[in-house]
Amino acid sequence: MVKKVKNVIVICDFAYIEGGASRVAHESAIALSKDYHVTLFAAVGPVSDELQASKVNVVCLGQKDILHDKNRLHAVLQGLWNKEAKEKLSKVLNHFSCEDTIVHVHTWTKGISSSIFEVLEEKGFQVALTTHDYFLVCPNGGLYNYPHHHICEIPPMSGTCIRTNCDARNYGHKLFRVCRQKIQNDHIRPRKNISYIFISDFASTQLLRRYPSIQKHYFLENPINFTNRFQVECDKNPLYLYVGRLTDDKGIRIFCEGVTKAHVPAAVIGKGVLYEELKEKYPNIEFAGWKEKKDMVPYLKQTRCFVFPSTYYEASPLTPLEMLACGIPCIVSDKNASKDIIEEGKNGFLYDGYQSDALKQVIERCQEDDLIKTMNTYIYQTFDTTKYSMDNHIRHLKEIYQSILNGGD
């Protein structure tokens, strides 16, 4: 007899939108609540207005996220094994049957911890786990050496990995993450009730290379809202645009060097630890700070090309897709997952992400108006917004849930 999904329990560290993963978790939970009884289980509040106004039942523990908890001992203990999360989730699960309920885990490393996976298996619930990052295999979640600003190919949790200080903060924090990873590996990898959802081909390759024993996995790209889509006439515009966090792993230094060498107008939308330093060093670049999407429109309407210089293995960046939806050619570092969406010379260009001279050469090529006009028209006419729509995402997600509940059939 085919089982039918009636209930979905979405698990996410945050009850408010803290980043891309929580946005997907919240928006999909709200969309799913049209057809299912949906509960969102979170560690850190407050609960967002959008969730409060929806049909989603929210269970929030009201805890602090472990990064900003000033009681560092409490943060360590919560990060390693959140006893309260396990106990509270157990009580929530008592109201549901594993015969018609799917538990969908989006994030767990910033508040909830891996304690929840033990109770989920004990009670017989099938779990979908979306891999928004690389915490499944890597202690720092990025497969990246933050102090030295390069991708890390050291086997995770090997002796060399444990001895290497790759953490953005300090080696003590790295050792905490190693301990957390050991506990996580012990409580996730043996579980037979977990199916994985990969969000890009690039990310799945990186994860399966380091965790080849994964048996049950699916593929589903994150949704994007294109409600206010419009075409930018890029060939008439001068501006090379960067949008994102101002940190070394995002490649912001390479962007600043590249546009400066190419002598082109450029703007940076975003904040981060490098903001003041780079603003002072590059007076030729406009540093606009962070902007809401509606406030980015004037910049988009002046944009010739969008540059995405990230030098770490981002699993599925959304901003390049949002730019392509407006017909804007994208110049992308070859070090991240966005390279998978680039058709060389048609919708954008790739360059060696570590070399500002390589970026300069691509920018110089993009100064040809006829080339940019041709690319602009091709991109806008061929970009498939339905592929990334929430409706399409939910349709495929429902199919995945049904498959998982019925043992992959």
Bridge-based pairing of strands 303-308 and 330-333 is: parallel
Q: At what angle do helices 171-188 and 72-80 cross, to 10 degrees?
A: 30
Give the rounded percent of residues in the chain with a pLDDT score beyond 90. Answer: 92
Just give the CATH number of 234-387.
3.40.50.2000
Q: Which amino acid is at 143?
A: L
Same fold, 7-132+191-223+389-405 and 234-387: yes
pLDDT the model gives residue 226: 85
* Structure confidence at residue 20 as a pLDDT band (50, 70, 90): confident
Residue 152 has pLDDT above 90, yes or no: yes
Q: Which amino acid is at 325?
A: A
Domain ranges of the chain: 7-132+191-223+389-405, 234-387
**Which of the listed CATH numbers 2.60.40.640, 1.10.260.30, 3.40.50.2000, 3.20.20.70 matches domain 7-132+191-223+389-405?**
3.40.50.2000
- Dump pLDDT digits (tens) for 250-304: 999 999 999 999 999 999 999 999 999 999 999 999 999 999 888 999 999 999 9
Whole-number average pLDDT of the chain? 95
Per 3-state DSSP, the chain is made up of helix, strand and coil in percentages (nearest 5) of 40, 20, 40
Mean pLDDT of 67-78: 94
Q: What is the dihedral of CA 129, 207, 155, 318, to 10 degrees?
A: -90
- Dump pLDDT digits (tens) for 118-143: 999 999 999 999 999 999 999 999 99
272/245 Cα distance (integer angstroms)? 5
Give the rounded percent of residues in the chain with a pLDDT score beyond 70. Answer: 100
pLDDT the model gives residue 225: 85
Question: Which one, of 340, 357, 105, 70, lies nearest residue 205 by Cα?
Answer: 340
What's the angle, vertex CA 312, arms to CA 224 and CA 116, rounded to 5?
70
- Dump pLDDT digits (tens) for 354-407: 999 999 999 999 999 999 999 999 999 999 999 999 999 999 999 999 999 998
SS3 label, residue 53: coil
- Dump pLDDT digits (tens) for 294-342: 899 999 999 999 999 999 888 888 899 999 999 999 999 999 889 999 9
267/288 Cα distance (integer angstroms)? 7
| Cβ-based neighbour number of residue 41 at 10 Å | 24
- Dump pLDDT digits (tens) for 176-204: 999 999 999 999 999 999 999 999 999 99
Q: What is the pTM of this model?
A: 0.92
* Structure confidence at residue 409 as a pLDDT band (50, 70, 90): low
Tokens read off for 66? 């472990």
**H/E/C letters for each residue in 113-130?**
CCHHHHHHHHCCCEEEEE
382/377 Cα distance (integer angstroms)? 9
Residue 155: DSSP 8-state: P
15/206 Cα distance (integer angstroms)? 29
